[in-house]
A and B are shown apart, each in its own frame.
Chain A
Amino acid sequence: MTTSIERTWTAVCPVEAVPEYAGVAALLDGVQVAIFHLPGDRWYALSNWDPCSGAAVLSRGIVGDAGGVPVVASPVYKERFALESGQCLDAEDVSVPVYEVRVREGVVEVESP
Chain B
Amino acid sequence: MPTLVVAGHGMVAHRLVEAVRAEDPSGNWHIVVLSEEPRPAYDRVALTSYVDTWDPASLALPGSDYADDSFVDLRLGELAVSVDRAAKTVTTASGAVVAYDALVLATGSRPFVPPVPGHDLPGCFVYRTIEDLDAIRAAAVDKPGRGRRSAVVIGGGLLGLEAAKALRDMGLSPHVVEMAPRLMPLQVDEGGGSLLRRLITNLDVTVHTGTSTDAIEADGSRLLAKLGNGTELDVDLVVFSAGVRPRDDLARQSGLELGPRGGVLTDLSCRTSDPSIYAIGECAAVDGRVYGIVAPGYAMAEIVAAQLTGGAGEFPEPDTSTKLKLMGVDVASFGDAHATTEGALEVAVNDAVAGTYKKLVVTDDGKTLLGGVLVGDATEYNTLRALVGRPLPAEPGAILAPAGGGAAVGVDALPDAAQICSCNAVSKGAITRAIHEDGCDSVPKLKACTRAGTACGSCVPLLGKLLSAAGVEQSKAVCEHFPQSRAELFEIVQATRITTFSELIARYGTGSGCALCKPAVASILATLGNGHVLGGEQMTLQDTNDRYLANLQRNGTYSVVPRIPGGEITPDKLIVIGEVARDFGLYTKITGGQRIDLFGATVDQLPQIWRRLVDAGFESGHAYGKALRTVKSCVGSTWCRYGVQDSVGLAIELELRYRGLRSPHKLKSAVSGCARECAEARSKDFGIIATENGWNLYVGGNGGTTPRHADLLVSDVDTETLIRTIDRFLMFYVRTADRLQRTAPWIEEMEGGLDHLRAVIVDDSLGICEDLDAAMAKHVDNYADEWKGVLEDPEKLARFTSFVNAPGTPDPAISFRSEREQKVPVMLGVPEVRR
Contact = CB atoms under 8 A, between A and B. Distances in A.
Nearest to A60: B544
B197 to A, nearest CB: 56
Most buried by B among A10, A24, A64: A64
Nearest to A22: B540
Interface in A64-113: 64-68, 70-71, 73, 75-76, 78, 80, 96-97, 113
Contacts of A57: 544, 552, 556
B385 interface: no
B812 A30 contact: yes
Nearest to A25: B803
Given A55-B554, A60-B544, A76-B552, A31 B804 contact: no
A27 B805 contact: yes
A44 interface: no
A88 to B, nearest CB: 13
Interface stretch (B204-212, B311-319, B486-494, B509-517): B509-517
Contacts of B518: 62, 64
Contacts of B512: 21, 38-39, 63-65, 70
A24 B800 CA distance: 10
Interface residues of A, number: 48
Contacts of A47: 833
A51 B832 CA distance: 12
Contacts of B519: 62
Interface string B533-557: 0000101111110011000101110
Contact of B833 (A22, A25, A27, A113): A113
Most buried by B among A35, A54, A62: A62
Contacts of A26: 803-806
A97 B827 contact: no
B809 interface: yes
B539 to A, nearest CB: 7
A55 B804 contact: no
A39 B805 CA distance: 22
A67 B555 CA distance: 30
Contacts of B537: 19-21
Nearest to B518: A62
B785 to A, nearest CB: 23
A66 B805 CA distance: 30
A50 B517 CA distance: 22
A64 B813 CA distance: 26
B830 interface: yes
Contact of B539 (A22, A31, A55): A22
A35 B833 CA distance: 16
B834 interface: yes
A113 B805 contact: no
Given A22-B540, A47-B833, A53-B554, A65 B513 contact: yes
Contacts of A62: 514-515, 518-519, 540-543
Task: Classify the secondary structure of A's interface with B.
Answer: strand
Interface residues of B, number: 41
A13 B544 contact: no
Contacts, number: 121
Contacts of B552: 57, 60, 75-76
Contacts of B556: 55-57
B201 to A, nearest CB: 54
Contact of A64 (B513, B543, B548): B513
A48 to B, nearest CB: 9
Contacts of B833: 31, 47, 49, 96-97, 113
A64 B543 CA distance: 12
Contacts of B831: 31, 49
B804 A66 contact: no
Contacts of A113: 833-835
A35 B830 contact: no
Interface in B790-829: 798, 802-806, 809, 811-813, 827-829
Nearest to A17: B804
Interface string B475-496: 0000011000000000000000
A81 B542 CA distance: 18
Contacts of A55: 554-556, 813, 827
A56 B802 CA distance: 10
A64 B539 contact: no
B540 A20 contact: yes
A61 B803 CA distance: 15
B835 A56 contact: no
Nearest to B798: A17
A21 B512 CA distance: 9
A20 B145 CA distance: 66
B541 A65 contact: no
A59 B556 CA distance: 11
A38 B556 CA distance: 24
B805 A75 contact: no
Interface string A27-52: 11011100100110000000101010
A35 B480 CA distance: 25
B549 to A, nearest CB: 13
**Which 6 pairs of residues, A with B, have the shortest CB-CB distance?**
A75-B544, A55-B556, A73-B515, A64-B514, A24-B804, A21-B540
Given A49-B830, A64-B512, A75-B544, 14 more contacts: A18-B804, A24-B804, A27-B812, A32-B803, A32-B812, A49-B813, A54-B555, A57-B556, A60-B544, A62-B542, A64-B481, A64-B511, A73-B515, A97-B835
25 contacts: A10-B805, A11-B805, A18-B804, A20-B537, A22-B539, A25-B802, A27-B805, A27-B806, A27-B809, A31-B833, A31-B834, A38-B512, A54-B554, A55-B555, A60-B547, A61-B515, A62-B519, A62-B541, A63-B512, A64-B511, A73-B514, A76-B552, A80-B515, A96-B833, A113-B835
Interface of B: 480-481, 511-515, 517-519, 537, 539-544, 547-548, 552, 554-556, 798, 802-806, 809, 811-813, 827-831, 833-835
